[in-house]
């Protein structure tokens, strides 16, 4: 019962998330590249995407802490990692390079696969394979930061 409602919320959230990305312009890689192109024809739109999204989410965090438990799950799975280390910064740095090269971060990459272009399909397949491979390598290395339970989703 609860799991069923949780799954419905997840499905509708995915649809809404995709609509938001589309309306915001994040599914247009040229627009994302224009946001990163601060010395050229800069398009600051993505700053407003972040302002809108972070503002709403921050209110939800306050509501969640006040409520104590989620609606359709036993407890909140808050990310538990706290340390700022080379792995965090190095990973973010590599991600930013790929983002700049392509104009795609994971959300728009998943949404855009529906366009069925060869580039979108190749991008998602390579993304999935490298996620799988990196997860294995990081888990095998067993560093403190690789705790699966603690991963920030």
Partner 1 sequence: MTFTNFTPVASLLGGILIGLASAAVLLGCGRTAGVSGILSSALSPTKGEDGAWRLLFLAGLVGGGALLALFFPGVIGAPIMGSIGRTVLAAALVGVGVEMGAGCTSGHGVCGIGRLSPRSIVATITFIATGVLTVLALHRFGGAS
The interface with partner 1 within residues 43-102 (CB under 8 A) comprises 43-46, 48-61, 63-64, 67, 69-79, 81-84, 87-102
Q: Taking the complex as a whole, how short is the minimal distance between the CB of residue 142 and partner 1, in angstroms?
A: 14
Residue 107: name the closest of 9, 16, 6 by CA: 16
| The only residue of 1, 42, 140, 142 in contact with partner 1, by rule CB under 8 A | 42
CB of 137 to partner 1, least distance (A): 9
Give 3-state DSSP helix, strand, coil % of the chain, rounded to 5. Answer: 75, 0, 25
Nearer to partner 1 by C-beta: 63 or 142? Answer: 63
Is 132 among the residues that bind partner 1 (CB under 8 A)? yes
Give long-range contacts, CB 8 A cutoff, 24+ apart: 139-143: 143/87
According to the binding rule CB under 8 A, does residue 115 interact with partner 1? yes
Q: How far apart are CA 147 and CA 86, in angstroms?
A: 16
| Residue placing its CB nearer to partner 1 in the complex, 39 or 142 | 39
Instruction: Let me know if 27 is exposed, middle or buried by CB neighbors in 10 A (0-12, 13-18, 19+).
Output: buried
| Minimal distance, residue 131 CB to partner 1, in Å | 5
């Amino acid at each position: 019962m609860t799991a069923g409602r949780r799954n419905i919320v997840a499905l509708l959230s995915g649809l809404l998330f995709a609509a938001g990305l589309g309306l915001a312009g994040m599914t247009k890689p040229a627009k994302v590249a224009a946001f990163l192109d601060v010395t050229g024809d800069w398009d600051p739109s993505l700053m407003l995407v972040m302002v809108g999204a972070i503002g709403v989410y921050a209110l939800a965090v306050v509501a969640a802490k006040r409520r104590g438990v989620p609606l359709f799950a036993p407890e909140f799975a808050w990310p538990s990692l706290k340390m700022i280390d080379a792995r965090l910064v190095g990973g973010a740095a590599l991600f930013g390079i790929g983002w700049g090269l392509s104009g795609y971060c994971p959300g728009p990459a998943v949404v855009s696969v529906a366009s069925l272009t060869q580039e979108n399909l190749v991008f998602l397949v390579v993304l999935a394979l490298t996620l799988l491979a990196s997860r294995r390598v990081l888990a095998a290395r067993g560093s403190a930061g690789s705790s699966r339970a603690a991963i920030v989703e």
